[in-house]
Every structure is written in structure tokens, then in C-alpha cells.
Chain A
């Protein structure tokens, strides 16, 4: 049943409404969590898609994040935005997914089948397949660069630059101090700066 207890303040800032729903859910109200999840799920899927690059996987990751979110709701603290907190869980789910993917046997290449990236490229922008292909290549390089970071560094870099969260909110979502977040940001950015493939992307971006 849809809930309609939205206050005027909550209508102005959806975060207030999300926080309220999370607090009600913490008191054992499953419907409140369900309502919050309905609001947050599209954004969560979007972040999952940025992380893994496949829609089907993104849906699985988001679903697993929501289930784990419900299971660990007692750990949620009101200082963090619910979405940021769920993104923190999403990053852990993504880490598990990466680990499973490492263990998965390599799929044999089928030369007769059309490559999936080509179908996606044409579908994404049939008029400018080259630009679309460049974007996809950039996405793959960035995802790969993020995957090469350690979990702690990936968390803060992702939450800062992808989710665009404040340092205080990231610290609250991850359960650490702002100083720790700053330190992880520094090390994460330094590692990214050391990756040669990103320098090529920066040059391309500057040229365009």
C-alpha cells in the first residue's frame, strides 16, 4: 500500500523523507523500508550500472544491496543519508561480485556470434557509433581503474565523485572519521593518478 505521510519539508528535500522512512523501518516497520526502497532503487541501480556495466548484473547488485540493507538496518545511523549508506553496501556487494567473477571460468570466444559491445554501441547511438564506442571504451577503462583500487579507497572515491556526497556524510555512512575519509581519498586519487591509461583519457578529454 503506498504511503502518503509526506511533510512539506520532506517534499522539498526527499532526503528528509528517506531518513524518516528509514527511522520507521528501524523500529520494525517493513512497509516503511519498502517505500524507501521504491524511492531509492532507480538511483541505486544507476550506481550499480556504473560499477559493473551490465544491466542484468546491476539489477542483481541493487537487489542484493536492498536485502542486505534491510538485514543490517540496525547499523544505520541517522547522520548518513540513506542513499549513501545503501551505496556503501552496494560497494561491498560489488566487491563480492568481483571476487566471484574472478573465480568464474573464462568463456570461450565464439567467432561466429556478433560481439555484444557492437550491438550495444549501435543501439546506444545509431547515428554516431564512433562517439558511442569511445564512451564505452572510456567507461570500461574507468571501471577497470576503480576495480584496481582497494575496497577502502574505492568506497570513498566512488561516494565522493559518483554519488557526490559530502565528506561528513561519507564518514557517517562508512562508520569512520572525516580524517580517515580524507586520507583514503588522498591515497585513492594518488593511485588513480599513477595509472597510465587514465592519462590517455585525460589527454583525449582536454583535446575535445
Chain B
């Protein structure tokens, strides 16, 4: 005999004494006409009675005195260990602030100690009126470099040396020749210069 599928929950809650009054009346009415549900309810009541009687049995607990003697030092040790953090007991939301602060410090540290990218190459970006590759090479006094076409009408000048001082001296020399000031520059990033 199987209970009705839509009444199983109500039967279990009825056993646990957790059914509202109206639902209880409804299930009692149903039980009068349904043998399967009656049988299932009897099983559930039997289980509940077993659990309750198991929970209510008399147990010898003289040894609880041992417990009192035993756990107190451990509890006190635990109390002294956690005493510095009592403020977080009282204000548990402070824990979030602590975690946030820790994450922030870790992020700052990670960024700070990140190895900085090294420039792989320096470039001089030459605008017109230099009109050709040969003219650019002449302007640069034949310094060892690779010359490539940039976005028209510009030229890219890639010095072979990555020595910043040498490149700066060369740019100064070219600026003087063309009577234009040399740009300021930064070695950390890929550069473009116009003069």
C-alpha cells in the first residue's frame, strides 16, 4: 500500500507536529478514506516514537563531573587565545574590513614589486620635410640604424644601439642641423619623436 504522493509531505509534518490547524483537519479527513496514507502515517509515527524514546531514555551521567573538570582549562586557554580578537566578536563586520585591508595591501604590493617592462627598442619618428630614406640617412649622419616607412609621409628611425645617451646625442645633433629643438624623452616606453 502506497501513500498518495501529494500527501506525503503533510503526513511527515503531521508526525513532526508541524502542520497548521487547517491542514491537519484536511489530512485527517483524507486519512479516513485512504488506507495507504494511514499505513504510511503509522510508520512515520512509529519512527517518531522510536526517536523520541531513544532521546528520552535514562542515561548514567556521573561522568559529567569529569567533563566539568576537564574542559574548563581548555576553554580558558581558548578564551585567552582569542581575547585579542574580541573586538571582532562584538563587531563581526570588522572582519570584512580586515579582509578588505589585507586584499588591498596585497594588491598594492603586487603592483609595486611587479618587474617593470624594459624598452625593447627606441624609435625616432621622423616627419617631413625629410623626403626619402636616403635623405633621412644623411640627416642622421650615417649612424647605424634601420630605417623603415612609417605612416605616410613619415619615416621610422630605429637606431641599432639601445644606448639612450647615444641616441639622445644623435637627436640633438639632428635638431641643431635642422634648427629645431630636440624633444624630451623617456626610456621606459616605446617612443616617437618628431622634429
The chain A residues found within 8 Å of chain B, CB to CB, are 26-28, 30, 33-34, 37-38, 41-42, 45-46, 49-50, 55, 59, 62-63, 66-67, 70-71, 73-75, 135, 138-139, 142, 157, 160-164, 167, 181-182, 185-186, 189-190, 192-193, 198-199, 201-202, 205-206
Beta-carbon nearest neighbor of B8 in chain A: A190
Distance of A8 from chain B, by nearest CB (Å) = 27
Question: Known contacts A67-B75, A142-B54, A161-B52: does B82 contact A185 (CB below 8 Å)?
Answer: no
Partner of B66, one of A59, A73, A189, A201: A59
B12: contacting residue among A26, A70, A163, A190, CB under 8 A: A190
Chain A residue contacts of B9, Cβ below 8 A: 186
Q: Give every chain B residue within 8 A of A138 (Cβ-Cβ).
A: 50, 54
Decide if the interface of chain A is mainly helix, strand, loop or mixed.
Answer: helix
> What's the count of A-B pairs with C-beta under 8 Å?
126
Nearest to B9 among chain A residues (CB) is: A186
Identify which of A33, A42, A202 contacts B47 (C-beta below 8 A).
Answer: A202
- The reply to whether A67 and B90 contact each other, CB–CB distance below 8 Å, is no
Listed A/B pairs (25) with beta-carbon separation below 8 Å: A26-B90, A34-B75, A45-B63, A46-B61, A59-B66, A62-B71, A63-B71, A67-B71, A70-B78, A71-B82, A139-B54, A142-B54, A161-B51, A162-B52, A167-B18, A182-B16, A185-B13, A186-B8, A186-B9, A190-B12, A192-B47, A193-B43, A193-B47, A202-B50, A205-B46
Q: Is the interface of B mostly helix, strand, loop or mixed?
A: helix
Q: Which residues of B contact A192 (CB under 8 A)?
A: 47
What is the CA–CA distance of A26 and B82 in the complex, to the nearest angstrom? 13
- Which residues of chain B come closer than 8 Å to A37, judged between CB atoms? 71, 75
Q: How far is the CB of A185 from chain B (nearest CB, A)?
A: 5
Contact: A205 with B71, CB < 8 Å?
A: no
Q: Check A28–B86 contact: CB distance below 8 A.
A: yes
Taking A55-B63, A186-B8 as contacts, is the C-beta distance between A74 and B15 under 8 angstroms? no
Residues A28 and B12 in contact in the complex (CB < 8 Å), given A41-B67, A202-B47, A205-B46: no
- In Å, the complex CA distance between A33 and B68 comes to 13
- B11 CB, nearest partner CB in chain A, Å: 9
Chain A residues whose CB sits within 8 angstroms of the CB of B67 once the complex forms: 41-42, 45, 59, 62-63
> Would A67 and B74 count as touching, CB distance under 8 A?
yes
Q: How far is the CB of A65 from chain B (nearest CB, A)?
A: 10
Q: A193 contacts B40, CB within 8 Å?
A: yes
Interchain CB contact under 8 A, B64 and A42: yes
Task: Evaluate contact between A28 and B90: CB separation under 8 angstroms.
Answer: yes
Closest to B78 in A: A67
Q: Are A162's CB and B54's CB within 8 A?
A: yes
Residues of A within 8 A of B18 (CB): 167, 181-182, 185
Residues of chain A contacted by B12 (CB below 8 angstroms): 185-186, 189-190
- Chain B 62-97 interface mask (CB, 8 Å, partner A; 1/0): 011011101110111011001000101110100000
